[in-house]
Amino acid sequence: MFALLTLAVVEGVGPLTAFDDRGSPASQWAADERLVSVLRTIEVAFDSTGITLATLVIIVAMLWKGHRRAALYAFGVTVATTVLYTSIKALVGRARPEWQLEDALYSSKSFPSGHASTVTALAGILCVLVVMLVRRGAVRRLLYVLLALVVVVVCLDRVLLGRHYPSDVIGGVLLGTGTVLLGLVVYSPLPRSHAETMPALPEVFTTERRLHVVLNPIKVEDVEAFKAIVTSMATAVGWSPPVWHLTSIEDPGTGMAEAAAVAGADLVMVCGGDGTVREVCAELAGTGIPVGIIPAGTGNLLARNLAIPLFLRSAIDIALTGQDRAIDLVEVSGDGLEPTHFMVMAGMGFDAAIMEGVNEDFKKRVGWLAYVVSALKSLMFPAVKVEISVDGGEPTKHRARTIVVGNVGYLQAGMPLLPDAAIDDGMLDVVLLHPKRFLSWVPLAFRVLAKRSRTDDLVNRMTGRTIVVRAASDTPRQLDGDTVGPGRELRMECVHGRVLVRVPR
């Protein structure tokens, strides 16, 4: 399409010339004087400097997240687009329109529009990254619309300022789109297997490399597409076609994990949130069957603390080709609570109130922001009197707004709530937070982020293999982000090295 348009411009085809001929610019096409300052701002914002800065931000972000191929793809498409539109301008040699805005006249050639080419290429790069990295369909669609609007605004800006004929900006859009698509053909931005650059793992005896997958179907947008990705990636590295187990409201994963173990699975992959992961890991504890975690929830705290990437393809790759690591499991019981387990954190008070206050429909639309809204509502959750016993010792009395017992140390965004916690040290770490006033949250947040070791009434820490927490009144409780109802007691014991999980090499 771009080639045909270029030929029409060079040959001066009649209909195209009529389309580009605006007639009297003052009365028909020229920008209103009140709009000129806005249009000039858009022009400057999306010139070569602006596009270059935006591309550098994308490249740095992708490198920081470990997506080197995506960063190289963004760089290559941007450079190719710039070289192509510059070269084609020189070859076609079309002059700028006579009605060009006299302020800061452009003397370079007109076809195709450089602004339209580069902003379309930038929007296309971002669309590719959105397809790769954004899981929520509603968010993806919103981003597509916003990016399309940006392209339209920049194209209108070029025409209204008289910098380009309409066919110039259409040519720029076609060129930018073509470069993005050509880039996908030449070079895939998807990450390669992390095992390609790592030494081979020692050979161990397996039968048929049987793979079973426990999937929470509400956590993936397209179940069939997800199955196709897992199947193709698994067979490519020598695994048998996977056997699928879908969770349900009645059984969030325990029965599926048991069925996989009975069937002789060599690897069980679990795709879901922290609750589904907890159920599968607890059921496979002590079996020697490794668990590959595909994080598809909102928190994904276990995956984050094990350095498992949140990008689905990378997580699948690590589950299939990573190495096994023995991690701790925590047995937990309490009043009104059947004996169960957790992998990440248990809590009483403010943090559990956050989980209770999350609106599930709102959470489906905005993800982790739902927890932020709930946290703001619960910020001054009343303090409770608690007694804490560590390793069977005498209970100590405290007041706290929240008590968190962790098997791992970091929350979302890398917040080091329990910075000394390790998931394979056989110990549990406890933190008690007691901000007495609303403004007390400010120094508390500073001390947590700065990993200050000092303890007092505001932030208190303890460590032990067994932890018993007793509250003076019924208090909200949570395990791995799932509420388990109010109560007055949680009894927890760390079982060292109980679960095998697949982690990056």
User: pLDDT, tens digit, for every residue of 441-463?
Assistant: 787 778 777 777 777 778 889 99
More confident residue, 23 or 376: 376
184-239 pLDDT, tens digit each: 999 989 888 776 666 766 665 556 789 999 999 988 888 998 999 999 999 988 89
**Residue entry with tokens 């009483």:** 348
Strand order in the sheet with 428-433: 459-464, 428-433, 402-406, 345-349, 477-479, 482-483
Average pLDDT over residues 87-104: 79
The pair of structure tokens assigned to 215 is 């999937």
In what helix (H) or strand (E) does residue 321 lie, and over which residues does it extend?
helix 312-321
Q: Which of 290, 234, 279 is nearest to 257 (CA)?
A: 279
- Going by C-beta distance under 8 Å and a sequence separation of 6 or more, which residues neighbour residue 288? 500
Report whether pLDDT(25) > 50.
no
Q: What is the pLDDT of residue 86?
A: 92
Q: DSSP state, 26?
A: I
Residues 388-398 as b or e (16 or more Cβ within 10 Å = b): bbbeeeeeeeb
The pair of structure tokens assigned to 39 is 């249009």
- Going by C-beta distance under 8 Å and a sequence separation of 6 or more, which residues neighbour residue 3? none
**Residue entry with tokens 């687009």:** 81
**What whole-number percentage of the chain has pLDDT above 90?**
42
In what helix (H) or strand (E) does residue 390 lie, and over which residues does it extend?
strand 384-390
Q: Which of 217, 193, 222 is nearest to 270 (CA)?
A: 217
Alpha carbon separation from 447 to 1, 104, 260, 298, 349 (Å, rounded): 59, 53, 45, 26, 20
- Going by C-beta distance under 8 Å and a sequence separation of 6 or more, which residues neighbour residue 398? 385, 386, 387, 388, 432, 434, 460
Helix (H, G, I), strand (E, B) or coil at 188: coil
Q: Which of 233, 241, 41 is nearest to 153 (CA)?
A: 41
State the pLDDT confidence band at 383, using cuts at 50, 70 and 90: confident
Distance CA 118, CA 172 (A): 8
- Going by C-beta distance under 8 Å and a sequence separation of 6 or more, which residues neighbour residue 262? none
| DSSP string across 331-362 | EEEETTEEEEEESSEEEEEHHHHHHHH--HHH
The pair of structure tokens assigned to 402 is 């929240």
Distance CA 124, CA 446 (A): 40
Helix (H, G, I), strand (E, B) or coil at 209: coil
In what helix (H) or strand (E) does residue 380 lie, and over which residues does it extend?
none
Average pLDDT over residues 243-249: 92
Domain ranges of the chain: 2-186, 197-321, 337-496
Average pLDDT over residues 44-69: 91
269-295 pLDDT, tens digit each: 999 988 899 899 999 998 989 999 999
Q: What is the pLDDT of residue 196?
A: 67
**Residue entry with tokens 């009343």:** 382
The pair of structure tokens assigned to 97 is 């329109």
C-alpha angle 205-209-212 in degrees, rounded to nearest 5: 135
Distance CA 477, CA 487 (A): 7
Q: Which of 384, 385, 389, 278 is nearest to 341 (CA)?
A: 278
More confident residue, 19 or 385: 385
C-alpha angle 204-207-213 in degrees, rounded to nearest 5: 95
2-186: CATH topology: Vanadium-containing Chloroperoxidase; domain 1 (1.20.144)
State the pLDDT confidence band at 487, using cuts at 50, 70 and 90: very high
CATH number of 337-496: 2.60.200.40
98-113 pLDDT, tens digit each: 777 666 667 778 889 8
C-alpha angle 85-89-92 in degrees, rounded to nearest 5: 130
Distance CA 478, CA 476 (A): 7
Architecture of domain 197-321: 3-Layer(aba) Sandwich (3.40)
Q: What is the pLDDT of residue 200?
A: 67
C-alpha dihedral, 366 to 370 to 371 to 377, nearest 10°: 160
The pair of structure tokens assigned to 104 is 């800061």
Report whether pLDDT(325) > 50.
yes
Q: What is the pLDDT of residue 27?
A: 42
**Residue entry with tokens 């399309």:** 148
